[in-house]
C-alpha cells in the first residue's frame, strides 16, 4: 500500500483543525498517548499512529480503525500530551466523522453499545445496567454472555431489576433535543 | 572578508597552498606555493571587462554546474581579492595559443601570461588550520539513481538555486526541464550515518539546513509541498528545535521517519519509495525534485596536509584535537590550532566560536616573549649518545633532530616540540635519552626507597 494520496496532504489535518481546533502537525510522535492509554493493547492502531495517519492524510485508515471506537475518552492522553493536543477530543470528532461517512467500524458492537447506552440515558436520565446488558446481549446475539455474574452483582446491590429514573428527566431530554438541533443546523 | 583584506596586520595569500612546515611553536618556517593567476594583482583594478569579453564558457564550480563561468573569472561575487584568475585548462590562449582577448581589452594591462609559480618562505609564530570540508558524492547510491536522474540534486544545488544572485536568480527549477517543482522530497543522511559508505558519523548541519530550505521553499513558492525523510531530527542548539517545529507547523513540511530505499522515474516524475516507521507503512511519493542531504567529509588532501603540519587525523581524515573536552581547538603539535569543519562537521555558530578560541590561543603565544613549557620532557645526554638516531625514528612529534658536535653525530631534543611521551627513552640503547625526572636511576631510587619504607613498617608490625 502506498501513501500518501495525491491530494493535498494537509486536507485531513485541516479538517480536524477546523472541527475541534486541534492541530496534529504539533505532534512530535513521542508516543506518550499510546504509552498511557489503558485500552491500547486492544487497539488495532495506536493513538499516536492515529495522529500520524491524520498527518499523512490517510482518512480511510483512521476512520476504519477500531481505535476510535475503543477509546474510552478517559483523557489520559490529552492530559499527558507534551504538545497539549487534546487527543480524546480528536477521537470524538473521528467517531462523528466515521458515522457521517457511514464507514463500517472495525468493532460493530461498539457502535451498538453506544446507541443502547444513549437510549438508556434518554429514557431514564441514567443507565439501567441490567436493561443495558440484556439489550446489548440480545442485539449482538450472545444472550448468555456474562449471565453467571448477574446473581452475584444483584446480591451485592450492584444493579436493580427495574432501574431508576432521575427526578428532572425533562432536562436530560432537553440536552438531546438541543444536540439534535445543533446537528441539523450543521 | 573585504575588511580583513584591508587590515594592515593581515596578509592574505590567495590561490596559494602551504607545501612545507618546519620548526616549532613560535618559530615555524612555512613554505607557500603561490600559483600563477596570470593577472597582475598590483595592476588589476577589478573592472571585470576581461570576464565580460572572454569567449570561453565552462560550467561554474561555485554553482556546481548549474551556471557557466568564463575561462578568466572570479570564483564568486564577493571573492577577495577582487582580481580574476585565468583557468589555464580551459583558456583559449593556453590551449590553442591564440586569443589574448583579455590582454587586448584590459585597460590596466594587468594580464600577464608569463607569470610563474612562486615559492614564498616565511616565519610564523602559530598556525591555525581552517581548511574546511567537502561534500560526499551521492552517485555511489545506486538506489537514488547513482547520478542518472537529473532531478535528484544535492542540498548545495538547491542552495545555489535559492540564492537571488545565483545561476537561476532565486528560482527553483527542475534541472531536466526547467519547470517549477511542486512536490519536493528531501532525503537526510545521504552518506552520513551509513557504515556501509564509510561515514558512520552524523554530519550535524543537515537537519537544520533542510528545515531552512523547506521554509524558504514554502515562503518563495507557496504551491510547493516538502516531504522530508529522516532517521532522527538532530536539532541540538539554541532555538534549533523550535525552528524545525516551525517548518512542520507553520510551513507544513511533512516529516517522514524512515530512509528512502528507492527512487525511480515514472513519466517526468520521480517516485520516491520509503517507509513511515511510525505507522509501519510503505510510502510512495510522486516527486518533481529530490534533494539529498549529503555527508560532510574531509577535504580529499587533508591527510597530506596533516603530514605536512605533523598533526594527527582520524580514520576519515578530520584533524584530531589535543583533548576532545579540555583542548578542543589545539592540535597535538604545540602552536598549531584547529577550527571549523576540518576537525569535524560544524555549523556556523560552532565554527565562529572555535575560530575565536583558536585565534585567542594563537595570540597567547604571540603576545609572550618567553613560553612556559612542561618540564617533563626528554633530554639526551650528548656524552653518552652514540648517534644511532633510533630515537629520531620513533618520535611521534618530530621533536628530535640530528646534530653534530665536534665531528660526532648526536641526537638532540627540541624542547618546544617534545611532549615527554618517553618513546625515545624506551628505544635508546645507550640510555642517553631520558624523560626529565624519570631517568632509570631515579625510578630505581624511588622503588628502593618505597621498599625500605615498607620493610620498616613490617618490622614495626612484627615488633607489636
CATH of the domain at A20: 1.10.1060.10
How many angstroms away from the CA of A42 is the closest CA of chain B?
17
pLDDT tens for residues A87-141?
999 999 999 999 888 887 666 788 888 889 999 998 888 888 888 889 999 988 8
> CA–CA separation, B201 vs B180, rounded Å?
34
Distance of alpha carbon A22 from alpha carbon A90, whole angstroms: 7
Instruction: Work out whether the CA dihedral B53, B58, B63, B67 comes out positive or negative.
Output: positive
Residue A3 lies in a domain: no
Q: Taking CB atoms and an 8 Å limit, are B284 and A3 in contact across chains?
A: yes
**Measured between CB atoms, which of B273, B278, B281 is closest to A29?**
B278
Task: Verify whether the Cβ–Cβ distance B279 to A56 is below 8 Å.
Answer: yes
Contacts of A70-76 spanning 24+ positions with Cβ under 8 A: A70/A39, A70/A42, A70/A43, A70/A107, A70/A110, A71/A39, A71/A47, A71/A95, A72/A38, A72/A39, A74/A38, A76/A33, A76/A36, A76/A37, A76/A38
The per-residue b/e assignment along B260-292, b for 16 or more CB within 10 angstroms, e otherwise, is beebeeeeeebbbebbbebbebebbbebbbbbb
Residue A9 to residue B282, Cβ atoms within 8 A: no
Task: Tell how many helices (H) and how many strands (E) occur in chain A.
Answer: 11, 0
Q: Please give the C-alpha separations between residue B241 and each of A70, B237, B247, in angstroms, as whole numbers.
A: 34, 7, 10
Show the beta-strand stretches assigned E in B299-359: 321-323, 327-331, 336-338
SS3 percent helix, strand, coil of chain B, rounded to 5, is 25, 25, 45
Q: B183-190 and B225-230 as β-strands: parallel, antiparallel, unpaired?
A: parallel
Listed by start position, the domains of chain B span 2-124, 133-297, 299-366, 373-464
Q: How far apart are CA B371 and CA B240, in angstroms?
A: 42
My answer on whether A117 and A172 are in the same domain is yes
First to last CA, chain A: 35
CB proximity under 8 Å: A 55-94 to B? 55-56
Query: Which of A35, A69, A100 marks a domain boundary?
Result: A100
Shared domain check, A112 and A96? no
Q: Are residues A119 and A62 in the same domain?
A: no
**Cα–Cα distance between B268 and B115 in angstroms, integer?**
50
β-sheet bridge partners, residue B292 = B154, B187
Between CA A67 and CA A58 the distance in angstroms is 15
Measured between CA atoms, the residue of chain B closest to residue A45 is B279
Has residue A2 been placed in a domain? no
Same domain, A95 and A123: no
Same domain, residue pair A113 and A169: yes
A chain contacts of residue B284, beta-carbon cutoff 8 Å: 2-3
Interface mutation target, options B235, B246, B262, B279, chain A, most CBs of A under 10 Å:
B279
Task: Classify burial at B24, counting beta carbons within 10 Å of its beta carbon; exposed 0-12, middle 13-18, buried 19 or more.
Answer: buried
Structure confidence at residue B216 (pLDDT)? 96
Distance from CA of B283 to the nearest CA of A (A): 5
d(CA B345, CA B294): 12
Q: Which three cell numbers stand for residue B416?
A: 618546544
Question: Is A126 contained in some domain?
Answer: yes
Chain pair A-B, CB pairs under 8 angstroms: 43
Same domain flag for A151 and A168? yes
pLDDT on residue A8: 86
Residue A42 lies in a domain: yes
B276: closest CA among B262, B256, B261?
B256
Same domain for A88 and A120? Answer: no
Closest approach of chain A CAs to the CA of B290, in angstroms?
17
Architecture of domain B373-464: 2-Layer Sandwich (3.30)
Please give the pLDDT value at position A1.
Answer: 39
CB B331 within 8 A of CB B322: yes
Closest CA to B274 of B204, B188, B346, B350: B188
Q: B278 vs A52: CB contact, 8 Å cut-off?
A: yes
CA dihedral A124, A128, A133, A139 (to 10 degrees): -10
Final residue of a structural domain among A100, A123, A151: A100
Q: Determine, for residues B281 and A9 on separate chains, whether the beta-carbon distance falls below 8 Å.
A: no
Do B281 and A3 lie within an 8 Å CB cutoff? Answer: yes
CA–CA separation, A103 and A106 (whole Å): 9
Determine which of B183, B184, B222, B278 to mutate to test the interface with A (most A C-beta atoms within 10 Å). Answer: B278
Decide if A3 and B245 are in contact by the 8 Å CB cutoff: no
Q: Does A135 lie in the same domain as A83? A: no
Asked if the domains at B133-297 and B373-464 fall in one CATH topology, the answer is no
Could you tell me if A53 lies within 8 Å of chain B, comparing CB atoms?
yes
Please report residues of A whose CB lies closer than 8 A to that of B245: 26, 28
Last residue of a domain, one of A37, A66, A100: A100
Closest residue by Cα to residue B127 from B337, B312, B387, B423 = B337
Q: Is residue A1 part of a domain?
A: no
* Residue B439 CA to its chain's centroid (Å): 41
Q: Please state the domain count of chain A.
A: 2
B406-439 pLDDT per residue, tens: 888 999 999 888 889 999 999 999 989 999 888 8
Report the Cα A18 to chain-centroid distance in Å. Answer: 20
Domain residues for the domain of A53 are 11-100
A-chain residues within 8 Å CB-CB of B252?
9-10, 25
3-state secondary structure of B34: strand
The parts of chain B modelled with pLDDT lower than 50 are none
Q: In whole angstroms, what is the distance from residue B324 CA to residue B269 CA? A: 46
pLDDT in tens, chain A (186 residues): 355 655 789 999 999 999 999 999 999 999 999 999 999 999 999 999 999 999 999 999 999 998 999 999 999 999 999 999 999 999 999 999 998 888 876 667 888 888 899 999 988 888 888 888 899 999 888 888 888 888 888 888 887 777 788 888 899 999 999 988 877 776
CA distance, residue B279 to nearest chain A CA (Å): 6
Topology of the domain comprising B133-297 = FAD/NAD(P)-binding domain (3.50.50)
With an 8 Å Cβ cutoff, is A49 touching chain B? Answer: yes
- Inter-chain residue contact B276 with A25, CB threshold 8 Å: no
- Give the H/E segment covering residue B274: strand B269-276
Helix, coil or strand: residue A126? coil
- Contact list, A26 vs chain B (CB under 8 Å): 245, 249
Amino acid at each position: 500500500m502506498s501513501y500518501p494520496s495525491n491530494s493535498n496532504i494537509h486536507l485531513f489535518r485541516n479538517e480536524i483543525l477546523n472541527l475541534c481546533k486541534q492541530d496534529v502537525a504539533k505532534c512530535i510522535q513521542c508516543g506518550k498517548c499510546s504509552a498511557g492509554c489503558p485500552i491500547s493493547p486492544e487497539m488495532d492502531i495506536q493513538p499516536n499512529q492515529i495522529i500520524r495517519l491524520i498527518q499523512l492524510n490517510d482518512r480511510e485508515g483512521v476512520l476504519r480503525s477500531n481505535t476510535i471506537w475503543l477509546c474510552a475518552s478517559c483523557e489520559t492522553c490529552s492530559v499527558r500530551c507534551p504538545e497539549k493536543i487534546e487527543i480524546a477530543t480528536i477521537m470524538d470528532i473521528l467517531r462523528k466523522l466515521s458515522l457521517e461517512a457511514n464507514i463500517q467500524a472495525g468493532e460493530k458492537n461498539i457502535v451498538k453499545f453506544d446507541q443502547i447506552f444513549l437510549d438508556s440515558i434518554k429514557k431514564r436520565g441514567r443507565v439501567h445496567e441490567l436493561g443495558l446488558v440484556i439489550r446489548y446481549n440480545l442485539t449482538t446475539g450472545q444472550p448468555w454472555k456474562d449471565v453467571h455474574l448477574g446473581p452475584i452483582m444483584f446480591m451485592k446491590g450492584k444493579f436493580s431489576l427495574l432501574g431508576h429514573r432521575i427526578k428532572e428527566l425533562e432536562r436530560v431530554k432537553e440536552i438531546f433535543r438541543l444536540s439534535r438541533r445543533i446537528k441539523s443546523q450543521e | 572578508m573585504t575588511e580583513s583584506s584591508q587590515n594592515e596586520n593581515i596578509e592574505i595569500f590567495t590561490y596559494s597552498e602551504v607545501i612545507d612546515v618546519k620548526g616549532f611553536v613560535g618559530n615555524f618556517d612555512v613554505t607557500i606555493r603561490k600559483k600563477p593567476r596570470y593577472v597582475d594583482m598590483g595592476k588589476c583594478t577589478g573592472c571585470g571587462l576581461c570576464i565580460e569579453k572572454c569567449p570561453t564558457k565552462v560550467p561554474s564550480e561555485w554553482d556546481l554546474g548549474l551556471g557557466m563561468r568564463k575561462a578568466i573569472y572570479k570564483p564568486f561575487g564577493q571573492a577577495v581579492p577582487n582580481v580574476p584568475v585565468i583557468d589555464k585548462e580551459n583558456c583559449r590562449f593556453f590551449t590553442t595559443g591564440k586569443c589574448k582577448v583579455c590582454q587586448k581589452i584590459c585597460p590596466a594591462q594587468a594580464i600577464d601570461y608569463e607569470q610563474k609559480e612562486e615559492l614564498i618562505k616565511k616565519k610564523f609564530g602559530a598556525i591555525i588550520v581552517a581548511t574546511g570540508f567537502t561534500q560526499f558524492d551521492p552517485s555511489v547510491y545506486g538506489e537514488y539513481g547513482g547520478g542518472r536522474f537529473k532531478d535528484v540534486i544535492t542540498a548545495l544545488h538547491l542552495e545555489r538555486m535559492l540564492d537571488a544572485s545565483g545561476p537561476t536568480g532565486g528560482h527553483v527549477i527542475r534541472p531536466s526541464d526547467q519547470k517549477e517543482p511542486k512536490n519536493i522530497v528531501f532525503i537526510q543522511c545521504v552518506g552520513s550515518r551509513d557504515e556501509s559508505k564509510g561515514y558512520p558519523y552524523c554530519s550535524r548541519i543537515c537537519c537544520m539546513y533542510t528545515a531552512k530550505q523547506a521554509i524558504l521553499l514554502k515562503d518563495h513558492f507557496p504551491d510547493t509541498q516538502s516531504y522530508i525523510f529522516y532517521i532522527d531530527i538532530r536539532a541540538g542548539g539554541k532555538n534549533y528545535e523550535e525552528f524545525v517545529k516551525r517548518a512542520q507547523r507553520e510551513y507544513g513540511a511533512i516529516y517522514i521517519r524512515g530512509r528512502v530505499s528507492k527512487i525511480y522515474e515514472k513519466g517526468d516524475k520521480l517516485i520516491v519509495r520509503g517507509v513511515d516507521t511510525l505507522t509501519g507503512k510503505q510510502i510512495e511519493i510522486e516527486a518533481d525534485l529530490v534533494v539529498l542531504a549529503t555527508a560532510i567529509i574531509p577535504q580529499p588532501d587533508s591527510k597530506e596536509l596533516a603530514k605536512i603540519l605533523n598533526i594527527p587525523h582520524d580514520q576519515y581524515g578530520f584533524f584530531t584535537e589535543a583533548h576532545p573536552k579540555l583542548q578542543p581547538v589545539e592540535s597535538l603539535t604545540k602552536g598549531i590550532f584547529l577550527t571549523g569543519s576540518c576537525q569535524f562537521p560544524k555549523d556556523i555558530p560552532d565554527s565562529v566560536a572555535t575560530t575565536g578560541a583558536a585565534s585567542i590561543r594563537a595570540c597567547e603565544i604571540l603576545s609572550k616573549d618567553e613560553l612556559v613549557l612542561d618540564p617533563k620532557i626528554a633530554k639526551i645526554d650528548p656524552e653518552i649518545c652514540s648517534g644511532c638516531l633510533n630515537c629520531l625514528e620513533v618520535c611521534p612529534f618530530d621533536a628530535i633532530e640530528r646534530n653534530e658536535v665536534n665531528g660526532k653525530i648526536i641526537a638532540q631534543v627540541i624542547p618546544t616540540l617534545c611532549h615527554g611521551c618517553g618513546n625515545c627513552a624506551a628505544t635508546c640503547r645507550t640510555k642517553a635519552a631520558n624523560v626529565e625526572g624519570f631517568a632509570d636511576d631515579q625510578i630505581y631510587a624511588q622503588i628502593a626507597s618505597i621498599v625500605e619504607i615498607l620493610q620498616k613498617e613490617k618490622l614495626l608490625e612484627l615488633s607489636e
